[in-house]
Amino acid sequence: MAEQALSGTSDLYRALADIPSVTTYSKIAPYVKTDAAGDNHLSLMIDGIHCAACIQAIESALLQLPSVHYVRLNFSTRRLNVSWRGDANMAERMVQALTALSYKATPFDPETLARQDEKENSSLLLCLGVAGFAAGNIMLLSFSLWTTDIQTMGVAVRDFLHWVSALIAVPAVAFSGRPFFTSAWNALRAGRTNMDVPISVGLILTTGMSLFELVNHGEHAYFDSAVMLMFFLLIGRYLDHLARSKARQAATDLMGMMAGTATLLKNDQPHAILIRDIKPDMDILVTAGEYIAADGRVLEGQTDIDTSLVTGESLPMMAAPGDVVMSGTINLSAPIVIRTIRSADESQVGHMIGLMEKAEASQARYVRIADRVARLYTPVVHILAFASFMGWLLIGHIPWQDALLIAATVLIITCPCALALAVPIVQVLAVGRLMKQGIMVQSSDVLEKVATIDTIIFDKTGTLTCGRPALMNVDDIDPQILQLAASMARYSRHPLSVALSSYYVENALPLTVEEIPGSGLRTMLNGCEIRLGRRLWATTEKLPDDIPQALEIVLAMDGNAPVRFLFRDELRPDTLSVINQLKGKGMHLHLLSGDRQNIVQDMAKTLGLESAHGQMAPEDKFQFMETLRAKGHKIMMVGDGINDAPVLAGADVSVAPASGIDMARRAAQIVFTSDTLQPILTILNVGYISQKRVRENFMMTVLYNACAIPLAIAGFVTPLIAALAMSLSSLAVILNAFRLRRYV
């Protein structure tokens, strides 16, 4: 990788020389922010960085540009911040420079992305730091309290040590306890309870009781327990936050990429416009290779439109003036001008986003396992504490201070330290392991749901198949003919051309190729015309129709017999074995596709799938899933297209290959980069194992509480025992979670 990045630097200078210094208009310009001092700032999302050499290549390349004075690449978030003086149009050159280094740079608006998240992160770290400091220092004092008896030490020294502890503990609890207090307060105000309610009550009660003991020269000051408890809880909270913010970040990155620009034609002059600002009756120029940003009618130009991501249809359709093109499709062969008939929000893609949001709202009802436990746990603990207070007071006839102390001890010792760690520690470990295998988990709760899945719905194109047509009859074709055809195909973005040109990478013939949208490619070689494209356009000769499921292009030249190139979208190499293993696990499998019925049925037969449906519109797919859900099935959806996005958003667990369209990746909770289907099995496996660990952790805390609570209620627990018991239970939970590594 290092060599690649470094050799890229010299490519850069060549590329820089080719860049015209004045660009007429810039697509990136809307993202450049100019501050009061005249400095321009740009944030870019960078794809494809792997190592130190990448950081260096990118930063030094941009610093070479004139007037750039700040470049910083954040390796963790893959975001690049650049500042420079002078011409705002430099932004264009920067992106071109990065492209020359073969990094994909996408501008984004940093304001829209989660700054909130970063603030929360550093405030949690600060709380953790303060709690750590306080815990360390108080333990130092407590150690002497625990190891020395009162006769040796004397009441005065003990009180002194307690006072110092109080001086550290009270401000620390007030400062570092805030995350728990605010969350508990918000929950209570909304008439709910959560895990933070007993934590807050425990913290406040313990600190208050210890202060009371302190003033009365008592022995039972629990400052150490309170601060240690808070420290451990904050570790759990931080881990939880880490897992969730990683997940959220993956999601916001995808969202930032979607907010792109389009080219608006106004008085025949191109202007960059943000896609979300597109209104009806605007003229938009769509160059070859670009996504169509809003539904519209073609005004000028003729081209092929790739609708595979929207409908699942494998072959492009032709669009000529007057035809309606839908947003989310890709313009393949020639530039066209469209007049929009709907704004971007109301266009097909916008409509899908609406469906997705509706589906996501139904997901919000899911209650995380930790919160379900908290709902049970909170009342039980408080009732136990209250009962022991009343019991000691009324039956045991001890002073109310002592009874309250026992009640507080019950609260501390049951305080859900291990419980608060039980889930996040497992999730952080599991998510990290999956990431190493190229599986990005975008929502940390999803692993909880994986374990309940009994039904899997697959999309066809790009999910079960590679989504790229492969040449079936490569062995039957004369290498010279292949070279000629591949050299022509290089000039087109048509999926079959792209596939064809990948079969001959060596010496391409220098040709002047003309693309005729909807028909094919044409060139002249040694004075005779060569056509590569649709059968009826390329040749008048009669050809056999022996393989109906194959996609075909024909190469014809004067005086030679036409040559057929047959393509088929191949299954991923391990699709069959993965499907069989899933069947072995007792999963219900369904295949839903927008492609033609006969192709879908054909594939279902190959894979042995009983339930397969073709020609499904996005709404049909969504309906199908809702019906299954209504029957009580827990559904995993695997898909990659715009038409899958609503189902992905609505399914219990959703998985998309990284090759899928932005929108599917955004809707999915899990994205995998592999060319195989193996990740589906890995995800299920990790889901089962991590849920098992979580259940074990809960069992351990229950067991621990079963031993500790009776002791606390009986009044046998000293501060030392409370602190030890809590630390040990937390440690046990963490160690158990680490056992995950052995299986994943």
Partner 1 sequence: MSVLLYMIPLALILGFIGLAGFIWSLRTGQYEDMDGAAYRILIDEEEDKTSA
Catalytic site residues?
459
Residue 148 or 676 with smaller CB distance to partner 1: 148
Binding segment toward partner 1, per CB under 8 A, in 31-39, 118-126, 255-263, 467-475: 118-126
Q: Are 294 and 625 in contact (CB under 8 A)?
A: no
Applying the rule CB under 8 A, the residues between 17 and 56 that interact with partner 1 are 51-52, 55-56
CB of 76 to partner 1, least distance (A): 4
CA gap 376, 176 in Å, rounded: 26
DSSP string across 416-431: SHHHHHHHHHHHHHHH
CB of 134 to partner 1, least distance (A): 9
CA gap 194, 374 in Å, rounded: 6
Q: How far is CA 248 from the centre of its chain?
A: 7
CB of 48 to partner 1, least distance (A): 15
CA gap 366, 152 in Å, rounded: 58
Say which residues have a Cβ less than 8 Å from residue 682's Cβ, sequence separation at least 6: 434, 437, 439
Q: 591: phi > 0 → left, psi -120 to 50 → alpha, else beta; which?
A: beta
Applying the rule CB under 8 A, the residues between 637 and 676 that interact with partner 1 are none
Burial of 741 (0-12, 13-18, 19+ CB in 10 A): exposed
Size of the site for partner 1 (CB under 8 A): 32
CB of 117 to partner 1, least distance (A): 11
Residue 124 or 500 with smaller CB distance to partner 1: 124
CB of 246 to partner 1, least distance (A): 12
Applying the rule CB under 8 A, the residues between 56 and 115 that interact with partner 1 are 56, 59-60, 63, 69-77
Residue 141 or 484 with smaller CB distance to partner 1: 141
Q: DSSP character for 291?
A: B
What is the side-by-side order of every strand in the sheet holding 330-331? 317-319, 303-306, 330-331
CB of 139 to partner 1, least distance (A): 11
Binding segment toward partner 1, per CB under 8 A, in 129-137, 377-385, 459-467, 613-621: 129-137
CA gap 391, 396 in Å, rounded: 6
Residue 81 or 302 with smaller CB distance to partner 1: 81
CA gap 20, 23 in Å, rounded: 7
Residue 78 or 695 with smaller CB distance to partner 1: 78
Residue 71 or 325 with smaller CB distance to partner 1: 71
Burial of 22 (0-12, 13-18, 19+ CB in 10 A): exposed
Site string for partner 1, 163-202 (x = CB under 8 A): -x---x----------------------------------
CB of 220 to partner 1, least distance (A): 21
Of how many residues is the chain composed?
Answer: 744
CA gap 694, 369 in Å, rounded: 9
Say which residues have a Cβ less than 8 Å from residue 666's Cβ, sequence separation at least 6: 251, 254, 255, 258, 645
Residue 158 or 493 with smaller CB distance to partner 1: 158
Binding segment toward partner 1, per CB under 8 A, in 132-140, 246-254, 342-350, 497-505: 132-140
Say which residues have a Cβ less than 8 Å from residue 41's Cβ, sequence separation at least 6: 32, 33, 34, 35, 81, 82, 83
Applying the rule CB under 8 A, the residues between 139 and 168 that interact with partner 1 are 140-141, 157, 160, 164, 168
Residue 113 or 359 with smaller CB distance to partner 1: 113
**Taking CB under 8 A as the rule, does residue 133 contact partner 1?**
yes
Identity of the amino acid at 716? F
CB of 412 to partner 1, least distance (A): 24
List the one residue out of 368, 454, 432, 440 whose CA is nearest residue 694. Answer: 368
Q: Which of 66, 129, 573, 608 binds partner 1 (CB under 8 A)?
A: 129
Q: Which of 1, 6, 126, 617 binds partner 1 (CB under 8 A)?
A: 126
What the block records as the tokens of 548 is 């109906």
Q: Which residues bind to partner 1, rule: CB under 8 A? A: 51-52, 55-56, 59-60, 63, 69-77, 118, 121-122, 125-126, 129-130, 133, 136-137, 140-141, 157, 160, 164, 168
